[in-house]
Amino acid sequence: MNLIDTNYILRFILGPSEPSFDKAKEAIENGCRTLPESIAEAVFVLESVYKAERSRIAETLIALLYDVEIERKEIIVEALESYGYGVPKLDYVDCLYLAVAKLTKENVLTMDKKLARQLQKIQYTG
């Protein structure tokens, strides 16, 4: 199985007008995997370079993850859902911390006030 990087993800998501779209599409259709870091990078590029809406980014990347293998998929999907639909003040990486806390019940320590407020809402009580 091939491991694809962020460039493959972006070429596929951005569509047929993109150079190398066909190559990216073929890799995804033939079965591949990616790293969680590539999803974080894709979120950053789609938001900062392409000015895509958070909900559209989340929707598109979640759909992609049906066809691409990735470690900790449940956490990545939860983070994308929080990022796109639930917590507009947090960036994607903070949403990852939130997803880990929610799904694993792991205690997350942070000095980020916005993240801390969201964590307080979900932190389990022993």
Query: Alpha helix (H) ranges present in the chain?
Result: 6-14, 21-29, 36-48, 54-64, 73-81, 92-104, 113-122
Distant-in-sequence, close-in-space partners of 122: CB < 8 Å, separation ≥ 6: 98, 101, 102
Alpha-carbon gap, residue 57 to 112, rounded angstroms: 24
Q: Name which residue leads in pLDDT, 105 or 125.
A: 105
Position 89 scores a pLDDT of: 84
Query: For the segment 48-82, what is each residue's pLDDT rounded down to a tens digit?
Result: 999 999 999 999 999 999 999 999 999 999 999 99
Query: For the segment 29-39, what is each residue's pLDDT rounded down to a tens digit?
Result: 999 999 999 99
